[in-house]
Structure 1
Amino acid sequence: MEILLDAANGQSSETCTLPYSFTELFRMVKSALYFCLLLLGLQAQGQQQEQIHHFPEDQSQAGVENLPYVKLAPSNADFAFKLYKQIRDELPNSNIFFSPLSISTAFTMLTLGARSNTLRELHKGLAFNLTQLEEQEIHEGFQHILRLLNDPHREAQLSMGNALFVDNRVELLQNFLDGVTNFYYAEAVSSNFQNPPEAVREINKYVETKTHGKIVDLVKSLDPETVMVIINYIFFRGSWERPFNSFHTRDGDFFLDAKNSVKVKLMHQNKNFNVHRDEKLSCWVVEIPYKGNVTSFFVLPDEGTMKQVEDALLKETVSDWLRSFKKREIYLDLPKFSVSSSYDIKSLFKKMGVTEVFSGQADLSGVAKSHLLKVSEAIHKATVDVTENGTEAAAVTLMEIMTMSLPFPPPPRITFNRPFLMMIIDKTTDGLLFLGKIVNPAAKED
């Protein structure tokens, strides 16, 4: 995810510590300031784990509901599904794959330096209800999530982090620096943005290292006036709790629509899974767990019902699925696939009502001394690979079933050979790590 912040009047100045008034500062800022926020949603290679947590409203343990990260989960889920629907509306026939947690973390980190209406718009866009969740609790919640996700004792490989690449001419305000360091464990790196090619190499090397080579050359170029880059990355590699046997993988057809199909490799298992048939939404939901404390949901709408299922994507819907799961034997067919997606988050956010932070009226006065900033670009990229052994990122395919009318009916066959949805969920934090829709598993990148 990349976000660039310009000076509010399109101009910049040298760092200055003199006590100028706001009006004087505004006049002094002469050339554009850029603030790049690189949000990276990345890979999941996986297997499952024990029973999944419910969203916080379903938890009954006294005291747990008041923990900041638990109170934060419903807001993050609301944001994830709201953003998914915005992407779906813009790209109705494309693969979708992104990390809502990566995007929300990066923008919430930015709220530490936002003020007035800019801050209010960001809170609303990120689905934070300040009557139920105080600002301090929001940041404490993300702090706790980062701690839990980066637990070195996890069985699945999962890491998430933040970094600030700051031009050596810019002096960050101490409160902002303390906040991003203490709550978000951000690394502050002094960079020479007066040499854009050097800064690009430094940033891309960091991204490639943190994502274990999954995302390379993310930044193609930087404007000579760029002064800051903020990066959030998330990396997941999980092994299936019960891997697919590659001996049973066969060629098959994946139906893009009623007339068109592509050839895919279909993996197969005949085992017990948590399964739910949602008759109201006309879809099947299959939980495929990873080793450790991460799981995945694959949602297969009946033919012609994808939009109906997408429109119903809410945290309450997922909670209903969780409560309704039944362990049963099925014949499962799931395609192998590798998908990458890139998104202009600035454009998506503006259509969701978050506009001021990208305009000349942006108030990010809590970020740096002597600079008036605005976000000029925000980009997110994510990638996923699903194989017999596990997952690197996420994707889902629609399924077909067999009726069960006999006293001892054979297991239903659920074949993800048409467009499907996929979620990767961290059971410790109830965090939606990745969310996607696979409409063409043969397409490499949208």
Structure 2
Amino acid sequence: MTSQLTLDGGNIPRLPSFQMGSSFYRVLLLVGFCAPMFCMSSSNPYNRESPHPPSMKSNPASQVSPSNTKFAFLLYQRLAQESPGQNILFSPVSISTSLAMLSLGARSATKTQILRSLGFNLTIMREPTIHLGFEHLVRSLNECHKGRELRMGSVLFIKKELQLQAKFLDRVKKLYGTKVFSEDFSNAVAAQAQINSYVERETKGKVVGVIQDLDSQTAMVLVNHIFFKANWTQPFSAANTNKSFPFLLSKGTTVHVPMMHQTELFAFGVDRELGCSVLQMDYRGDAVAFFVLPGKGKMRQLEKSLSAGRLRKWSRSLQKRWIKVFIPKISISASYNLETILPQMGIRDAFNSNADFSGITKTHFLQVSKAAHKAVLDVSEEGTEAAATTTTKLIVRSRDTPSSIIAFNQPFLILLIDKITESILFLGKVENPRKM
């Protein structure tokens, strides 16, 4: 990625700490505007008989992967609690990257709260190791992979008069590949239009109008965007799609949705402890999707049990078998105001008067006023486009016939994972495939 810095360093006097309240500005943190999509294709770069991802031990990104996964599931559980019966969709890797990058400019308790809430034990892992891991993660995700398109990037829009710390600028550019632009927030309408245009362009038109009612008090807008598009190794045939297939909602009512289906060799297993079935479908370009179907009345139990250890068990225990799969075509989106959720997860000071972002600038008091996230997901015959130790074992039921049937015709979870970094690119729950 390239970085661009066009800052107009105004002549702002450095204020003593007791005057900072009179020089207050808001930081608008826009995290993870995503556009994922499910697509079609051929041939897996890995042995098709082995659904397990390659070893990550030598990859620095593996240092941050377990913490990112832990944060992903904790955030999911919060969102599920806040939005019962609703579709859920977000990009954990995008949100984690945004917050880790923000921590570069945080100091004292503000920094500690961010990193601990991201799942890092600071007595075991030093801060430089964390940022080195994210540097390799961002670099790996943006490398070219045949058969998929994945692009994640960060950009800072900075108030023209704001004098930034040179060290902060150097580190966000070097470690996170961040682009930096000077912005005139006094003209809030024009600034809003420019930032919305940038996000729309970077997500190829999938995410539109992300900022509404931009405040002229804003001093900095941080945007992290991610775009994913890949082809299935085993595509569905559009000719076989049932145009009106019943899908049972959690409330007991039924909607009719287009349902794709095919019979193929897929990695599959049953988690008896949680009462759910797990299906893995591969993309070209080192990415996989997990579809997790809980038994009737088992969704809450499944959601509460999500963990890095559980995901690791699924990844290692699935077995290839011939199976007939029914998956609905999906076009869903979700938006979140994370400034109401992140404080519940321990990131408190960043959003109040205790905020310490003196690593970004010492001339103004900065406080995060908004942390917004939006994701869009399309699943079709062609593929996808967007955006604890346990003894549980997954088994393949011996009573199944060679061509078993699994139909995702009721609420289910979906995880989209990058194999190389073992990062959850997108995580969601499909409660209603027809609801955007």
Letter in 2 for 1:432: I
- Give per-residue Cα distances to partners, 1:127-168, cap 9 Å, x unaligned: 111223211111111111111111134420000000011111
Pairing partner for 1:264 from 221, 235, 257:
257
What is the match of residue 339 of structure 1?
A: 332
Matched, 1:434 2:423: no
| SS class of match (1:373) | strand
> Are 2:28 and 2:222, in contact at CA under 8 Å, matched by a contact in 1?
yes
| Counterpart secondary structure, 2:320 | strand
Question: Does the 8 Å CA contact 1:276/1:285 hold for their aligned counterparts?
Answer: yes
Q: What's the CA shift for 1:44?
A: 2.7
Q: Give the whole-Å Cα distance in 1 for the aligned partners of 2:138 and 2:81.
A: 31
Residue 313 of structure 1, aligned match among 306, 310, 314: 306
Match of 2:193, SS state, is helix
Overall identity of the aligned pairs, in %: 39
Equivalent residues of 1:44, 1:384 under 8 A apart: yes
In the other structure, the counterpart of 1:280 is: 273
Alpha-carbon distance between aligned partners in 2 of 1:110 and 1:67, rounded to the nearest angstrom = 23
- How big is the shift at 1:28? 4.4
Which residue matches 1:21?
A: 16
Residue-by-residue CA offset, 1:280-310 (whole Å, 9 max, x unaligned): 1111100011111111000001111111111
Name the CA distance, whole Å, in 2 between partners of 1:67 and 1:22: 42
CA contact (8 A) 2:85 2:250 kept: no
* Structure 2 counterparts to residues 414-429 of structure 1, below 5 A: 414-429=406-421
1: distance between equivalents of 2:51 and 2:423? Answer: 11
Range moving further from structure 2, 45-54 or 73-82: 45-54
Q: 2:374 & 2:405 partners in 1: Cα distance?
A: 34
Contact 1:35 1:226 in 2 (8 A): yes
Residue 25 of structure 2 corresponds to: 33
Distance 2:381 2:40 in 1: 10
**1:33 alignment partner, SS class:** strand
Deviates more, 1:124-133 or 1:210-219: 124-133
Secondary structure, counterpart of 1:206 in structure 2: helix
Residue type matched to 1:257 in 2?
S
Residue in 2 that maps onto 1:10: none
Cα displacement (A) at 1:323: 1.3
Which residue does the alignment assign to 2:247? 254
Give the direction of change, closer, same or farther, for the CA distance of 1:369–1:52 in structure 2 (3 Å limit). farther
1:405 corresponds in structure 2 to 399
Picking from 344, 350, 359, the partner of 1:351 is 344
Residue 115 of structure 1 aligns with an amino acid whose one-letter code is R
Q: Which residue of 2 aligns with 1:245?
A: 237
Q: For the structure 1 residues 268 and 371, does the alpha-carbon distance in structure 2 shift closer, same or farther, using more than 3 Å as the test?
A: same
Match of 2:152 in 1: 160
TM-score scaled to structure 1, two decimals? 0.88
- Conserved? CA contact 2:332–2:378, under 8 Å: yes
Report the counterpart of residue 172 of structure 2 in structure 1.
Answer: 180
**Corresponding residue SS for 1:418:** coil
Report how many aligned residue pairs link the two structures: 412
Tell me how far apart the structure 2 counterparts of residues 27 and 360 of structure 1 sit (CA, whole Å).
Answer: 9
Measure the CA separation in 2 of the matches of 1:355 and 1:16: 32
Aligned partner of residue 223 in structure 2, secondary structure: strand
- CA offset digits 1:74-116 (Å, max 9, x no partner): 0000000000000011112100000011111111110001011
Note the alpha carbon deviations across 1:390-418, whole angstroms, 9 max, x for none.
01247xxxxxxx98638xx3421100000
CA distance in 2, matches of 1:258, 1:165: 43
Deviates more, 1:217-226 or 1:69-78: 217-226
AA matched with 2:278? V
In 2: Cα distance, 1:100 partner to 1:425 partner: 10
Aligned to 2:363, the other structure's residue is in SS state coil
C-alpha change, 1:89 and 1:132, in structure 2 (3 Å) is: same
Whether 1:44 and 2:69 are equivalent positions in the alignment is no
Render the CA deviation track for 1:323-348: whole Å, top value 9, x for unaligned. 11110001100000100000111111
How far apart in 1 are the matches of 2:322 and 2:385? 26
Residues of 2 paired with 1:74 and 1:418: CA distance?
30
Q: 1:54 to 1:124 in 2, by over 3 A?
A: farther
1:2-401 equivalence runs, <5 A:
16-23=11-18, 25-26=19-20, 28-29=22-23, 32-39=24-31, 40-46=33-39, 49=44, 50=46, 59=55, 65=57, 67-250=59-242, 251-257=244-250, 259-393=252-386
Could you tell me whether the CA contact under 8 Å between 1:76 and 1:101 is conserved in 2? Answer: yes
Structure 1: which amino acid aligns with 2:381?
E
Measured after TM superposition, the shift of residue 221 of structure 1 is 2.3
SS in 2 for 1:310: helix
Gaps of 5+ in 2: 1-8, 388-395
SS of the equivalent of 1:26 reads: helix
Q: Whole-Å Cα distance in 1 between the matches of residues 25 and 240 of structure 2? A: 55
264 and 16 in structure 1: CA distance in 2 versus 1, 3 angstrom threshold = same
Does the 8 Å contact 1:273/1:327 carry over to 2? yes
Equivalent AA in structure 1 for residue 271 of structure 2 = D
Counterpart residue number, 1:3: none
Per-residue CA deviations over 1:152-209 (Å, capped at 9, x if unaligned) read: 3442000000001111111111111111111011111111111111111110111011
Q: Secondary structure at the match of 2:39?
A: coil
SS at the partner of 2:185? coil
Contact in 1 for aligned 2:51/2:318 (Cα 8 Å):
no
AA aligned to 2:203 is: T
Residues 104 and 53 of structure 1: is their aligned pair in 2 closer, same or farther, counting only changes over 3 Å?
Answer: farther
Distance in 1 (alpha carbons) for counterparts of 2:251 and 2:190 = 50
TM-aligned CA distance change 1:245 to 1:313, over 3 Å: same
Equivalents in 1 of 2:226, 2:124: separation in Å?
Answer: 27
- Which is further off, 360-369 or 145-154? 145-154
Q: TM-score, normalised by structure 2?
A: 0.90
Q: Is the 8 A contact 1:193 1:199 kept in 2?
A: yes
C-alpha displacement of 1:261: 0.6
- Alpha-carbon offset, residue 45 of structure 1: 3.0
The DSSP-based 3-state class of the residue aligned with 1:176 is: helix
The two structures, once aligned, show a CA RMSD in angstroms of 2.0
Q: Which shows bigger deviation, 122-131 or 229-238?
A: 122-131
Q: Is the 8 A contact 1:53 1:428 kept in 2?
A: no
